[in-house]
Amino acid sequence: PPGSRLPLPTSHDELRALAQEFNALLVRQEEVSDRLRRFTGDAAHELRSPVASIRVQAEVAVTNPDPELAQETLSDILTEAERLSSLLDGLLSLARSDAGEVPPAEPVEVVTEVRDAVERLPAGAPETRVSTAVPQAWASAEHAEVQLVLDNLLRNASRYANGQIVVSVLAARGLVRVVVDDDGPGIAPEHRAKVFDRFYRVSDDRARTSGGTGLGLAMVAEAVRRRGGRVRVGESPDGGARFEVSWRAAR
């Protein structure tokens, strides 16, 4: 644990154990800096594409006097600027979490949160049904964090679903679980382990044209895991995607 110190060795065996511990620590350290290096590189790469696009569009606008074209170009610039802005928001939120800035846990009533999140879906989203056997389910989490998790899962589901989304809330064995099922194309098994990685996208084009950042599920996983909860992805009964998150129940 952070801040803990190993006792000084007094025997050969203890010295050996200490060396082993030290080596394990070095390996972990290398893994952490590898991950950090990869993340920084990926982030720079991701930020570069909207910036490059803004630049090209602005050049077009500056050199071409046609007002109709200018309108179109400005609207594209705005879209890219918004994308840049959500990327930065995501990066900042992950950085805060990486730095250990985690708000204290409080009891959050998840059934209400789910209904509110469904209300927040944009007009024209697929039909979304909430299914729960319990009137209330209190999780040990934080309010904004639960909203982030639900908004991201629902937004993804509505992006990919063909016609129907089902959100189930279950409370049992000291856990509060939310399961989001959609009837879209689903996620092939070989991608499932990676969809929670930062910037990972199953199909680059599909996500890009729908304005994704590739950070949504990484933030979901981070928000849930830092409370000791779990995230999982699998297949829904309709063959679409199933995302499942669970928190410890608040007492």
Q: Which lies closer to ligand ADP via its Cβ, residue 138 or residue 177?
A: 177
- The least distance separating ligand ADP from the CB of residue 247, rounded to whole angstroms, comes to 19
- Given a contact cutoff of 8 angstroms between Cβ atoms, the answer to whether 235 and 243 are in contact is no
Q: 135: which residues sit within 8 A by CB, 6+ positions away?
A: 111
Q: Which lies closer to ligand ADP via its Cβ, residue 58 or residue 130?
A: 130
Distance CA 98, CA 226 (A): 10
- The least distance separating ligand ADP from the CB of residue 20, rounded to whole angstroms, comes to 38
- Given a contact cutoff of 8 angstroms between Cβ atoms, the answer to whether 230 and 224 are in contact is yes
Q: Which lies closer to ligand ADP via its Cβ, residue 70 or residue 234?
A: 234
Distance CA 62, CA 56 (A): 10
Which residue in 180, 178, 183 sits closest to 126, CA to CA?
183
Q: Which lies closer to ligand ADP via its Cβ, residue 139 or residue 180?
A: 180
- The least distance separating ligand ADP from the CB of residue 227, rounded to whole angstroms, comes to 19
Distance CA 125, CA 118 (A): 10
- The least distance separating ligand ADP from the CB of residue 211, rounded to whole angstroms, comes to 8
- The least distance separating ligand ADP from the CB of residue 29, rounded to whole angstroms, comes to 27
Q: Which lies closer to ligand ADP via its Cβ, residue 108 or residue 157?
A: 157
Taking the alpha carbons at both ends of the chain, their separation in whole angstroms is 26
Which residues bind to ligand ADP, rule: CB under 6 A?
Answer: 152, 156-157, 160, 182, 184-185, 187, 195, 200-203, 207, 212-218, 241
Q: Report the residue closest to ligand ADP, judged by CB.
A: 212
